[in-house]
Structure 1
Amino acid sequence: MTPISYRLPQQRNLVTSLPGPRSAALTTRRKAAVAAGVGSSVPVYVADADGGVIVDVDGNSLIDLGSGIAVTSVGASHPAVAAAVAEQAAHFTHTCFMVTPYEGYVRVAEELAALTPGQHDKRTVLFNSGAEAVENAIKVARLATGKTAVVAFDHAYHGRTNLTMALTAKSMPYKANFGPFAPEVYRMPMSYPYRDEAGLTGEQAAQRVISRMEAQIGADSLAAIIIEPVQGEGGFIVPAPGFLGTLAEWARQREVVFIADEVQTGFARTGAWFASEHEDIVPDIITMAKGIAGGMPLAAITGRADLLDEVHPGGLGGTYGGNPVACAAALATLDVMRELDLPARAREIEAAVMPKLHALAAETGVIGDVRGRGAMIAIELVRPGTSEPDPVLTKAVAAEALSRGVVLLTCGTYGNVIRLLPPLVISDELLADGLSVLADVLREQTR
């Protein structure tokens, strides 16, 4: 790993039980001020964060294995990103690119054209969130093709707006009682190697989808296929080899826009700049957010110029989209990722973590599957001797790990997946300590 200088000590250190008294007091204030519909998985309040640690308001130092859901890949306060934010804010914080544009937006678009897969002519539009990026990718596909239907997949997560809820598979908590949803969205089966029938190849799983699309929708009505190359909230599901490529080739032949939702997988997280690269996929449009700007709100779609330029002036944009401070943060973040070779660091994390998790699976008998790419890794917890999901154990493991100073995130359609998303700049020692805590908790919970 490239040597990194940290501002805060990179160690786990608890000085109170969790949550501490100041966090508890903030929870009381929160209940009186913040809507109940906004949840938090961890009941501690942050005062500082750097590298792989979060320091709460009570002075506890926690190991961060969540990165704000894959956002703070370069750490939550990398000095280069913080300096870029401060410098830009000292000049101007906003003018609206649609009124008086600025170079930062153009530079980010140039960077994304160079980084995303494919050598074709590309265009980019910047937004604030992953959901916005997805919504606009669908808008572009529908306008450019003159077609309306969109295919999404089982276990997919694409956002919490009306259209992205329609694309998202899981009902609770994302969709329950929020309908009706946007029409002309069709759900297809995902390649889920752990739960698919034995021996089903990626190509066969894709042909299953293709036959249903042709029978139920028809390529003449289908504007786009949208898919996460590695599903995120649905359980870090890595499709079988050949699944993505077969679908992308079918879409190309039928003039269906193939959209890769790389909001969680993008920007070095999986060991490549984009997860599409693992399967040699060149999407027509890529949606991006999360890791793009070191924690500042920024999102993007980058895609074929002939698609994006089809949209009339004023048809894409937003008041804050491509905010100048967020653009400055993104440019600094990308520089850090290149300087530290964070795609390679993600592969190092995978090499360090995977053997330990496989050994833990053999020892405990409750890990049905270990999967992921790079620093996007998960374990699926099941009842011993079965493939039956065990969400109760999953919740208990995350809670006990937190009590010992390790922040873990859960996910999965069945609520039985623990996902590991450490900052890519986490030290080897801190990562090893976090994994040790996870292993101890799993052993104790399954005795």
Structure 2
Amino acid sequence: MTSSQPSGPGSHLSNVWSKVTDLQVVRGQGCRVYDANDHSYLDFTAGIAAASTGHCHPKVVQAISDQAHRFVHAQANVYQHDLLEPVAARLAGLTPESIDTFFFSNSSDEILEAAVKLARHATGRHDIITFDGAFHGRTLLTLAMSTSRAIDREGYGPFPGGVHVAPFPDPHASDQESEITRALRGLDRLFATQIPANEVAAIIIEPVIGERGYIPTPAAFIEGLGERCRENGILFVADETQSGFGRTGKMFAIEAHDIEPDILCMAKGIASGFPFAALGTRRAHDDKWRPGSHGGSSNGTPIGCAAALATMEVLTEPGFLDNVVARGTQLIDALRDLQQLDDALLHVRGRGLMVAVEFDSAERASAVVEHCLAENNVILMTAGTRKRTVRWMPPLIVTSEEISEAVSAFAAAIRATS
């Protein structure tokens, strides 16, 4: 049973948001949300991978409550509150060794824009390279960097200049080695024909491509990008706004690769969905970021810092990431077993609890997601340029029983819609 959100002439809400469901929820607990009639729904969207510790984790709730009684808004340009340095120090201990200096903001879009601004100051260059199928945000600059779906960009141009889109390896190519070589050659051709490498400030990539359909970036491709960055003085920027903070079974997905990023972009899971984001970089780069040239009214808010500290405490508890790996393995294995039910289920891929299944059509993917919600109260959502992919991103606290419950609903939906 579902509970619809009020609509009609009396509503004052914008219609610009797309809707995964029509649910009107009133509370959340762990991996479940509840509607006004107290019906429970298993939430395998986690606020689009943001609710890393689940809904209303007691440690996060307590930290937010305690901080709200002390200080709600302490503007960093005017005075600095006592959680700024602790969050930076905690991040310094969790991020790759190359990252030791941090700037805070409120959202992934803001932090990606900050990364571009820092890269331009640090290098004295202005051009940026992103990759086909990437999604980095919805501001004009981050939309210029995003090519996962035309609808996100339609009607909003012209976009800021200085952004160049390079090829990304086709994950479905049978010969992956040749495909990676092709994509890297495409980048080299871009250097030769459009923008010289010595004029590029940064290469920005998601270690797991998000909105295109949860596609792990091949290790050899990332290594090739790293080589080109080192050879040409280009900063390597890892966009971990969706893949970071345990989502792939490691604290950061870039840890699976032999590369030290110059800039690390973090958001979503960093504070269990509370609006908070961080940019991590090398001190040498930050020293070139001119004081006063960037900032914001709500950067590093006290409550956001409290939520981030509590979230990191939960994520670093002994065995936490081991459970993420175990639950991810359980999920991927179960979904691959389901491929035997229907030839329309083409691909299963993922790392940790950042998992995707791809169908042969958008209509089938949508029908399966709708059946899971209507018949079994399991919330999933689609992704991908063609909307053929169903992505699985439950809270990282998900249990074995909850994985089984969701997979059973998915299996029933496959049978019912075939």
TM-score under structure 1 normalisation?
0.90
Give, in whole Å, the separation in 2 of the partners of 1:276 and 1:201: 23
Alpha-carbon deviation of 1:340?
5.1
Aligned to 1:359: 337
Write the letter of the residue equivalent to 1:88.
Q
Give, in whole Å, the separation in 2 of the partners of 1:425 and 1:64: 12
Aligned to 1:428: 400
The yes-or-no answer on 1:42 pairing with 2:21 is yes
Give 3-state SS (helix, strand or coil) of 2:129's partner: strand
Give, in whole Å, the separation in 1 of the partners of 2:142 and 2:300: 21
Sort the Cα spacing of 1:201 and 1:102 in 2 relative to 1 into closer, same or farther, 3 A.
farther
Alpha-carbon deviation of 1:32?
2.1
Give 3-state SS (helix, strand or coil) of 2:77's partner: coil
Write the letter of the residue equivalent to 2:188.
S
Per-residue displacement from partner, 1:216-270 (whole Å, max 9, x unpaired)?
A: 2111111111000001111101122311111112102210011000000000000
TM-score under structure 2 normalisation?
0.96
Alpha-carbon deviation of 1:39?
2.3
Alpha-carbon deviation of 1:205?
4.3
Give, in whole Å, the separation in 1 of the partners of 2:289 and 2:217: 32
Aligned pair partner of 1:391 in 352, 362, 369:
362
Alpha-carbon deviation of 1:133?
0.4
- Share of identical aligned residues, percent? 36
Give 3-state SS (helix, strand or coil) of 1:59's partner: coil
Aligned to 1:5: none
Per-residue displacement from partner, 1:18-37 (whole Å, max 9, x unpaired)?
A: 2x3xx34x2347x7211111
C-alpha RMSD of the superposition: 1.5
Kept in 1, the 8 Å contact 2:167–2:184? The answer is no
Aligned to 2:282: 304
Question: Following superposition, which runs of at least 4 residues in structure 1 exceed 3 angstroms of deviation?
Answer: 199-203
Q: Which aligned pairs between 1:176-255 and structure 2 lie closer than 5 A?
A: 176-194=154-172, 196=173, 198-201=175-178, 203-215=180-192, 216-255=194-233
Aligned pair partner of 1:419 in 379, 391, 395:
391
Aligned to 1:385: none
Higher mean alpha-carbon deviation, 76-85 vs 170-179, is at: 170-179
Structure 2 unaligned spans of 5+: none
Per-residue displacement from partner, 1:355-381 (whole Å, max 9, x unpaired)?
A: 111111132111221111000000011
Higher mean alpha-carbon deviation, 423-432 vs 196-205, is at: 196-205
Give 3-state SS (helix, strand or coil) of 1:32's partner: coil
Kept in 2, the 8 Å contact 1:205–1:243? The answer is no
Q: Which aligned pairs between 1:4-403 and structure 2 lie closer than 5 A?
A: 17-18=1-2, 20=3, 23-24=4-5, 26-28=6-8, 32-118=11-97, 120=98, 122-194=100-172, 196=173, 198-201=175-178, 203-215=180-192, 216-339=194-317, 341-382=319-360, 390-403=361-374
Kept in 2, the 8 Å contact 1:75–1:425? The answer is yes
Give, in whole Å, the separation in 2 of the partners of 1:246 and 1:86: 46
Alpha-carbon deviation of 1:192?
2.9
The yes-or-no answer on 1:407 pairing with 2:348 is no
Per-residue displacement from partner, 1:252-294 (whole Å, max 9, x unpaired)?
A: 2210011000000000000100000112221110100000001
Sort the Cα spacing of 1:89 and 1:281 in 2 relative to 1 into closer, same or farther, 3 A.
same
Sort the Cα spacing of 1:199 and 1:227 in 2 relative to 1 into closer, same or farther, 3 A.
closer
Write the letter of the residue equivalent to 2:394.
P
Give, in whole Å, the separation in 2 of the partners of 1:204 and 1:324: 47
Alpha-carbon deviation of 1:173?
2.7
Structure 1 unaligned spans of 5+: 1-16, 383-389
Alpha-carbon deviation of 1:207?
2.6
Give, in whole Å, the separation in 2 of the partners of 1:204 and 1:260: 21
Write the letter of the residue equivalent to 2:58.
P
Alpha-carbon deviation of 1:122?
2.1
